[in-house]
Amino acid sequence: MRPYRHREGDDVGDPHRVGVVGLGVISRAYLDTLANHPAVSIVAVADLDASRSAAVAAMIPGAEALSVEHLFDRPDVQTVLNLTIPAAHAEISLGAIDAGKSVYVEKPLAVAFPDGRSIIDRAASAGVRVGCAPDTVLGTGTQTARAAIDGGLIGRPLSASAVMVTPGHERWHPHPDFYYAPGGGPLLDMGPYYISALIHLLGPVRAVSGSASRLRAERVIGSGPRLGHRIPVQVDTHVTGVLEHASGALSTITTTFDGVATTAAPIEVHGETGTLAVPDPNYFDGEVRLFALGGNGWRVVAPRAGYVDGSRGIGLIDDVTGDGQRPPRAGGDVGLHVLDTMTTLLRAAAEGRRIELTTVVERPELVPLTPVEEWKAHHGTRKVRRP
Ligand SMILES: NC(=O)c1ccc[n+]([C@@H]2O[C@H](COP(=O)([O-])OP(=O)(O)OC[C@H]3O[C@@H](n4cnc5c(N)ncnc54)[C@H](O)[C@@H]3O)[C@@H](O)[C@H]2O)c1
């Protein structure tokens, strides 16, 4: 991936101009982070539902409600923030890249691996950047655990477990259809948090195996205007797997929409001389705890890395305020490796065998401990010239 190209003179210091496509449930969290952030300026918003874009534009000074095509055509949009449903991620991201924009896309990068591959390859040819959620793993939770591992607190890391149990998002999401359509399911939906965290903690994955099952053929919407509607379940809703990391460490992962609750730590990492309990990678913070070999209990590891009080959108801020030389920490290459891990695991489960991945990725750089005042006040953005 090529870095942003720098501009000289008066342009240096201008906010990075963002167009947002997709203004549903999660867009509010992003807008809360980005709408007032000095490093970015939201100049355009678009949604299939024009009433949503009009409502959001009315809330953000300087933002214009546009059709998706017009947003792509607007020369001043530097990055398209793609918050559409997973099935639309590839179409919107590729459209933006073809219009010369960088992209930051919600997870997963795409629902099919070849589409994810196209996004990364076409962005590289166009000289634009790709960022991909989740950026929660840049918060103090996952980053402190990673710093603890790198600092030798558990000796050589050997294995990890990741557990996500929920009875299903249809209980609270007003339009949960996509979670049960191809490209949905617990692994593609929630796996990106856990697998991204495992990549930050233990490095890339080289091979996977797994098994999957399905509890029900239908789900019932539990909120909103379609309360009580039945939706079909077209994907497996309980997915388990083993990830073999390139380092030799083994992670076991369980993601399910078919369970009620769990007492398991979201992630545990076991090393030769200690075990770390890692907080939920769906959140930015939370307590990291260590049980050292020979010790007499768990002790809290004070935050030592990551964005303090991070919030969604910080992955984009991290990139536009970076030096332009390193790949985005919440990067498209990580998103592609996560997608490869997930889609290959589902194939391994369907075919009943172990499969090696086709992608490799560098472990992203550690985020230094960054106080909230520091990342919220950042004024220095790199400048982007459209190719
Ligand atoms: N809801 C959450 O809590 C949550 C949390 C983290 C991440 N995410 C991710 O965020 C993304 C969006 O989820 P959501 O819950 O906000 O979904 P949503 O259905 O509430 O919103 C999606 C929006 O995108 C619009 N859209 C869909 N296709 C489009 C297209 N082709 N062009 C323009 N607009 C289009 C829809 O009209 C809708 O307004 C998904 O990738 C999801 O995995 C959601």
Tens-place pLDDT, residues 273-294: 999 999 999 999 999 999 999 9
Query: How are strands ordered across the β-sheet holding 274-278?
Result: 299-301, 288-292, 274-278, 267-271, 157-165, 250-256, 238-245, 205-213, 355-356
The residue whose CB lies within 8 Å of the most ligand 1 atoms, and thus the one to mutate among 84, 172, 226, is: 84
Residues 241 and 114 in one domain: no
pLDDT of residue 386: 33
pTM of the model: 0.94
Residues of the chain with pLDDT under 50: 1-12, 383-387
Q: Is 26 in the pocket of ligand 1 (CB under 6 A)?
A: yes
Q: Is 22 in the pocket of ligand 1 (CB under 6 A)?
A: yes
Residues 73 and 211 in one domain: no
pLDDT of residue 14: 85
Q: What percent of the chain has pLDDT over 70?
A: 94
Give the structural domain span for 369.
Answer: 16-136+312-330+365-376
Cα 175 to Cα 22, 26, 186: the distances in Å are: 14, 12, 16
Residues 170 and 103 in one domain: no
pLDDT of residue 170: 96
Q: pLDDT tens digits, residue range 315-356?
A: 999 999 988 788 899 999 999 999 999 999 999 999 999 999
Q: Is 68 in the pocket of ligand 1 (CB under 6 A)?
A: yes
Q: Is 214 in the pocket of ligand 1 (CB under 6 A)?
A: no
Cα 83 to ligand 1 centre (Å): 5
Residues 175 and 297 in one domain: yes
pLDDT of residue 325: 81
Question: Quick check: helix, strand or coil at residue 16?
Answer: strand
pLDDT of residue 10: 37
Residues 217 and 199 in one domain: yes
Taking the C-alpha atoms of residue 354 and residue 349, their distance in angstroms, rounded to an integer, is 9
Taking each helix axis from N to C terminus, what angle separates 113-126 and 332-351, rounded to the nearest 10 degrees?
Answer: 160
Residues 117 and 198 in one domain: no
If one counts every other C-beta atom within 10 angstroms of the C-beta of residue 215, the result is: 15
pLDDT of residue 340: 98
Residues 254 and 243 in one domain: yes
pLDDT of residue 377: 85
Instruction: Give nearest CA residue, ligand 1 atom 6.
Output: 26
Q: Is 188 in the pocket of ligand 1 (CB under 6 A)?
A: no
Residues 220 and 319 in one domain: no
The answer to whether 97 and 119 have CB atoms below 8 angstroms apart is yes
pLDDT of residue 13: 65
Residues 155 and 96 in one domain: no
Q: Is 377 in the pocket of ligand 1 (CB under 6 A)?
A: no
Q: Classify the C-alpha dihedral 197-146-121-31 as positive or negative.
A: positive
Q: Is 50 in the pocket of ligand 1 (CB under 6 A)?
A: no
